[in-house]
């Protein structure tokens, strides 16, 4: 018999849905707002509702990425660190997310100074506080 211990795991490839509303009633959100993956893994964002995209706005390697609205998008993350992204049309409503690659949070201070608008300001601060 094996025993499973609950601890934050660094995942391989991950799929994140872009939602108008989640099961808890939160509006304009990603299904997973903080994703922890291993270096070399891919995050795929799937628009389950129209009008959403992904734009990486701060990262450890100055990555530039912006998907088209309503289109599926995938990014393979090679460089460890925190990547901060938002849905361009809904960033002011707090539709933001973080990808933590390789468990590396050494660029947390840089991410905390990145641009945030409206509800995203308070939400980004709270999300960063969750990271060790």
Closest C-alpha among 102, 101, 123, 121 to residue 113: 121
Cβ burial 54-72 (10 Å sphere, 16+ → b, else e): bbbbbbbeebeeebeeeee
For residue 1, being part of any structural domain is answered with no
Work out the average pLDDT over 125-131.
Answer: 96
Residue 3 neighbours by CB distance under 10 Å: 4
For residue 7, being part of any structural domain is answered with no
Respond yes or no: is residue 127 known to be catalytic. no
Q: Is the pLDDT of residue 7 over 80?
A: no
Closest C-alpha among 45, 44, 33 to residue 97: 33
Please, which residues have CB within 8 angstroms of residue 5's CB and are 6 or more apart in sequence? Answer: none
For residue 58, being part of any structural domain is answered with yes
- In this prediction the pTM is 0.91
CATH, residue 47: 2.60.40.420
Number of domains, the chain: 1
Could you give the angle at the alpha carbon of 88 between the alpha carbons of 59 and 123, nearest 5°? Answer: 65
Domain around 86: 14-130
Alpha-carbon distance 59 to 77, whole Å? 10
Respond yes or no: is residue 18 known to be catalytic. no
Q: What is the pLDDT of residues 41-95, one digit of tens each?
A: 999 999 998 999 999 999 999 999 999 999 999 999 999 999 999 999 999 999 9
Per-residue confidence band for 122, with pLDDT thresholds at 50, 70 and 90: very high
Active-site entry in 18, 28, 90, 127: 90
Q: Is the pLDDT of residue 5 over 70?
A: no
For residue 57, being part of any structural domain is answered with yes
Active-site entry in 18, 28, 95, 127: 95
For residue 5, being part of any structural domain is answered with no
Active-site entry in 52, 63, 93, 127: 52
């Amino acid at each position: 018999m094996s025993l499973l211990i609950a601890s934050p795991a660094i995942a391989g490839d991950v799929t994140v849905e872009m939602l108008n509303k989640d099961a808890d009633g939160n509006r304009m959100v990603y299904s997973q707002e903080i994703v922890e993956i291993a270096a070399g893994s891919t995050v795929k964002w799937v628009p389950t509702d129209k009008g959403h995209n992904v734009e990486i706005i701060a990262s450890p390697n100055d990555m530039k990425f912006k998907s088209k609205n309503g289109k599926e998008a995938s990014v393979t993350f090679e460089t460890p660190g925190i990547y901060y992204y938002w849905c361009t049309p809904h960033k002011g409503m707090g539709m933001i997310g973080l990808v933590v690659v390789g468990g590396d949070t050494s660029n947390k201070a840089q991410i905390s100074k990145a641009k945030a608008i409206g509800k995203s300001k308070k939400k980004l601060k709270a999300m960063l506080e969750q990271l060790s």
